[in-house]
Amino acid sequence: MKIFPFLAIVILFLSCSEGKRSATNKKNESIITMLVVKPEFQLIIDSCQVEGSVLIYDLNKDVYYSNNFERAKMGHLPASTFKIANSIIALEAGVVKNDSTLLKWDGKKRWMKKWEQDLILRDAFHFSCVPCYQDIARSIGVKRMNAYLTKMKYGSMKVDTSNLDMFWLEGDSRITQFQQIDFLKSFYRSELPISERTEKIMKRMFLADDSDQYKLSEKTGLSNTNGIYNGWYVGYIEFKSATYFFATNIEAPKDFDFNRFVACRKEITMKAIKQMGLIK
């Protein structure tokens, strides 16, 4: 396991615009951050027979862990991980009232059978209902969507009238693993420019597992570009005395077993978290 001190990594971190981040806080004080290379994560990824990288961040210690920091700086379509931001914007803009807002099914056949019903927002989020969130994006509109994305510093999204309901699934929008964690950190720490009400609703929606051992908030994502599957698993896991953020991104050819690929996203991440001794 190799540890790199901060002196050489000021330019390693990506921001939303220039591709670099100043290593200072709001008081213009230097921030000391550590990057820890974890070869064990690569072995876990290899066991799934996919390409990819795991990025885990320890909030208390201000330490990042990954098998491949260079890949973690690469941008990808956010796919359904964008439902986190999309939900926040919808709540802020008043497009939906709360996580119980009913989203009506139009009666048309959909890619997944469980999408073919009326769904409340909370279920649409957990079922990752693409048509539901396409309707939401259209209701938000280009102007408001871009304004909120800029305010929240969410990746590098390319949104216009031609792609308003698809920009997170295809095209030139990109977000890196570092940016995913940055966004989630800001959300978790109440640093996004959103109301307390929206934050409370979204944190309730985001929570997927609340056990005696930990609380897990998660979202998956999947896109297919030029015959290559790209998969995301992002979120954070809270223990009594520590919180860890994660952003895993993997890729495989289109002929790779689909069900295996979608399972690998979370499987890889949870094995990495287990390898760090955080869960049993």
Active site members: 80
Residue where the block lists tokens 């609340």? 210
- Paired tokens of 187: 């959300």
Please provide the DSSP assignment of 46-75 as one string.
Answer: HHTT-EEEEEEEETTTTEEEES-HHHHTS-
Spatial separation of the C-alpha atoms in residues 155 and 165, rounded to whole Å: 17
- Paired tokens of 97: 């009232």
Largest CA distance in the chain: 57
Report yes or no: 44 and 18 within 8 Å, Cβ to Cβ. no
Q: How far is CA 99 from the centre of its chain?
A: 19
Please provide the DSSP assignment of 214-252 as one string.
Answer: -EEEEEEEEEEETTEEEEEEEEEEE-SS-EEEEEEEEEE
Residue 89: C-alpha distances to residues 85, 152, 231 (Å):
6, 10, 23
- 110-124: string of b/e by CB count within 10 Å (b at 16+)? beeeebbeebebbbb
- Which residues have CB under 8 Å from 118's CB, separation 6+? 102, 103, 104, 105
- Paired tokens of 206: 């985001």
Spatial separation of the C-alpha atoms in residues 210 and 215, rounded to whole Å: 4
